[in-house]
Amino acid sequence: MQLLAYILIYPILWFVSLLPFRLLYAVSDVLYVVIYHVFGYRTKTVTENLKLVFPEKSDLEIKTIRGKFYHHLCDMILESIKSMHISLESMQKRYTFQNLEIIKEFEKQNKSIVLMCAHYGSWEWIFILQTYTSHRGYGIYKKLQNKYFDRLVKSIRARYNSYLITTKETFTVLEEAKKNGILSMNGFASDQSPKKEKARHWNEFMGIKVPVHTGAEALAKQLDMPIVFFAVKRKKRGYYEATFQTLAENPADFKDYEITDQFLKLVEKQIHEAPEYYLWTHKRWKHRQ
């Protein structure tokens, strides 16, 4: 069944990935109508999340943010598909970096890096960062159930010396890379909700006390890696700019969870500036105190 689904869907993805951006976003506009207005994909979850963290906003304001969010979500879906065949030149033009010197300085120091980000703006195209550094890129991700699509996603990331590894593999792979003298840059999207029974730390996120992922901080301390946060800003449709900020050059000098809490505050700042670019479809606040 997995293979059949792949055989049926892959040709569609392949065709869409070849579309010029003008037509790609026309498809996105149609997808927006289907996902949001026809099927109402997770609109209940999105509305509940928005009302929970923005109690001061009116129903009209919530509705406006929700609509803009679904437009952006559809763009993200199509941009991810476009990654199959987008050229290096186009990627570098559309996804730029404001202060790349922060990454280059750690490269000069021969230091591997932990990159922390949120599901905000565009995290799908960040792998183009690998074309500017000698670091080997690892992205920590949740394995797809369909092994054929999982293999496809991995092959797309590998185009630019960037590789996906599961949470269970993370420490083993990165420890081995360190032993072999391989510089690595390791991406963690650390803003989503961990399982309640596995939560080691709780803190306020957007005014609600919730469990927090702490794996990025813990791994950075174990392997002595600086931690860098990157914020993504949408400049216009199909164009993004990432800005780096060092959270800790020597993570072991910080108290437990201090770096993670700092990360959450930076994510909150992004959300307050433009809430429509955050991933509201996840049940981020399903566990709360």
- Positions in the chain short of pLDDT 50: none
pLDDT for res 145: 87
pTM of the model: 0.93
CA 102 to chain centre: 20
pLDDT for res 211: 96
| HSE, side-chain direction, 13 A CA sphere, residue 77 | 16
Give the Cα separation of 208 and 212 in Å (integer): 11
Query: Can you name the residues that pair with 117 across neighbouring β-strands?
Result: 189
pLDDT for res 197: 84
Q: Which tokens sit at 38? A: 């026809």
Q: What is the pLDDT of residues 203-246, one digit of tens each?
A: 999 999 999 999 999 999 999 999 999 999 999 999 999 999 99
Closest CA to 138 of 159, 121, 157: 157
